[in-house]
Copies of this chain bind each other. A is one copy, B any other.
Amino acid sequence: MKLIKPFLILLLIAISAVTFSQQKYALAIHGGAGNITPQNVPPEVRKAYKAKLEEALMAGEAVLKNGGQALDAVTAAIMVMENSPLFNAGKGAVFTADGTNEMDASIMDGSNLEAGAVAGVSKIKNPILAARAVMEQSPHVLLSGNGADAFAKEKGLDMVDPSYFFTQSRWDSYQREKKRMEKGDKHGTVGCVALDQHGNLAAGTSTGGMTMKMHGRIGDSPIIGAGTYADNNTCAVSCTGHGEYFIRYAVAYDIGALMKYKGMTLQQAANEVVMHKLKSAGGDGGIIAVDHKGNISLVFNTSGMFRGKVTENHEMQVFIF
């Protein structure tokens, strides 16, 4: 009997520790990984990226703080980045070898493994909304090209002339940036993962693909299991990097598989995939992920990744290198 009291105290301490380490909500974003160094991203450019990352985090957090859905938080944060010319998604999409813009996006609901994606769209202002419409309003998971554009239009999404994705000043600065940042900045995909107060996870990714990619090339961003995955039992993941490797290694799915089948923590699983498997294969890039306890991992094997995070108990932070 004498042992019961100290045992109970220890138990209470343990329970509190678990409770405090568990976040009611958590959100992470990325704006692309690559050859991003202090040398090729000057201070004024860093400031602009950090401000936009914070704006995206705020948009997502506002949803979660009010008890909203992880899916809505992911959508809100990604739309902020799609609407900014700073990122290679939506408004800032890079150009294909043919001089056109072809965008991809995907979203997944970890509560029921529902998912939607679009590939090679060129007229939808916010591809992430089209991905969501495919999930919620079609029997399919992935629509591509003209069929996807037509579907989005039918569903009443904001359509734009392909020229929306081109502005002279952005083209000029893109050309300057391209020279300055050399060939390292091929990516700039955006993504978001979220845990909401209901315990649901969601992940989304949006991209303009690789600069100078072949017409019709689809990378990992619209591929559920490669660029995006979410499962309430494990984690939500969004990827950025050399998409072909992320497809071949089923990166987004593999991180959750290592958790559920091998008992790894999120951080262990993310490290295993990004820092070992991908790195040894030559697959450049990174991932953001959140698990069902609100633990966040931001892992990349490149010199930098535009990224940020916020949880119930921790103020937002944004990082580049």
Q: Interface residue tally of chain A, by bracket?
A: 35 or more
Q: Which of A8-16, A223-231, A313-321 contacts B (4 or more CB under 8 A)?
A: A223-231
Q: Which residues of B sit under 8 angstroms from A224, Cβ to Cβ?
A: 226, 247-248, 250
Q: Roughly how many angstroms separate A155 CA and B213 CA in the complex, as a whole number?
A: 17
Q: Among A148, A217, A226, which residue has the most Cβ atoms of chain B within 10 A?
A: A217
* Contact A113–B249 (Cβ < 8 Å): yes
Contact A143–B217 (Cβ < 8 Å): yes
Task: Please give the count of copies of this chain that the complex contains.
Answer: 2
Please give, as numbers and ranges, the residues of chain B lying within 8 Å of A7 by CB-CB distance. Answer: none
Whole-angstrom CA separation of A286 from B284 in the bound complex = 34
Chain B nearest CB from A249 CB (Å) reads: 7
The answer on a CB contact under 8 Å between B115 and A144 is no
Asked if A258 is an interface residue, CB under 8 A from chain B, the answer is yes
A148 B216 Cβ-Cβ under 8 A: yes
- Sampled A-B contacts (8; CB under 8 Å): A108-B248, A141-B247, A142-B217, A147-B215, A150-B215, A151-B216, A225-B250, A253-B254
Residues of A within 8 A of B (CB): 108, 113-115, 119-120, 138-148, 150-151, 213-219, 223-226, 229, 243-244, 247-250, 253-254, 257-258, 261-262, 281
